[in-house]
Structure 1
């Protein structure tokens, strides 16, 4: 069983590659070639095409990352608060970024979490995302109001 430090480094390396906007092929290289792999971003599928459905196998994960890239861009992505469980080979991490829905140009600041499951070779087998699906839905429909409009003075 890999050490906690090695597991943490593997998670950080993947998160760094994502935050640095590495290409899809590079991101896929972090996933296991010997185990069934999957990615899922939780939420109602009606809110966005990438939500609520598991993307399985490397071809499915490629489809997920390409779909995300066709709909969204992001800036200033950072990760913190890594929680490492070396017995279950899982790492949970908090992320933050500014996302933009490409077709509408609407942006929002978001906090999200990943849970990453690894195999014994420190390759990803399951990638789970919890994010602000409501903001994505509103931005995708051009209805995301600036935060300044949400606060009213009395």
Structure 2
């Protein structure tokens, strides 16, 4: 079982790479190659193509990150309030960023959370995201700024 410091370092490495807009291969490299991995962004599936369904396996997780990059861009991403549970090999963290839906150009500021589960080698097995799926949907349909 990884130590607290190893879990924190592994979670920070993924978050640093994501906030630095590293390529999909770099992001996928943080995931376990010995366990079946899952990525899910919670919300209703009808809101955006990457929301509300599990992406299971490394190829599906690659597709998830490719979809994110195809629909969204972001700036000023930062992470804080790290919670490390070495008993369950889980790290939770709060993130903030300014997101833009590429097709419509609509932007919003968002606070989101990640919950990351790790294997014995400090590689991610489960990647869970809770975010403002309603804002993403309204930006997608170009109605974010409607009053």
Report the TM range for the smaller structure's normalisation.
over 0.9
Where has structure 1 moved over 2 Å in runs of 4 or more? none
* 2:25 is the alignment partner of 1:28: no
* 2:134 is the alignment partner of 1:101: no
Could you say which residue in structure 2 is the equivalent of 1:11?
11
Could you state the TM-score of these two structures normalised by the residue count of structure 2?
A: 0.98
Per-residue CA deviations over 1:72-131 (Å, capped at 9, x if unaligned) read 000000000000000100000000000000000000000000000000000000100000
Could you state the TM-score of these two structures normalised by the residue count of structure 1?
A: 0.94
SS at match of 1:27: helix
Aligned residue runs from structure 1 range 70-109, under 5 A: 70-109=70-109
Could you say which residue in structure 1 is the equivalent of 2:131?
131
SS at match of 1:46: helix
2: CA distance between counterparts of 1:139 and 1:42?
A: 17
RMSD of equivalent CA atoms: 0.9
Could you say which residue in structure 1 is the equivalent of 2:41?
41
Computing the radius of gyration from Cα coordinates, the structure with the larger value is 1
Could you say which residue in structure 2 is the equivalent of 1:112?
112
2: CA distance between counterparts of 1:47 and 1:28?
A: 24
SS at match of 2:44: coil
2: CA distance between counterparts of 1:18 and 1:132?
A: 18
Could you say which residue in structure 2 is the equivalent of 1:57?
57
Q: What are structure 1's unaligned runs of at least 5 residues?
A: none
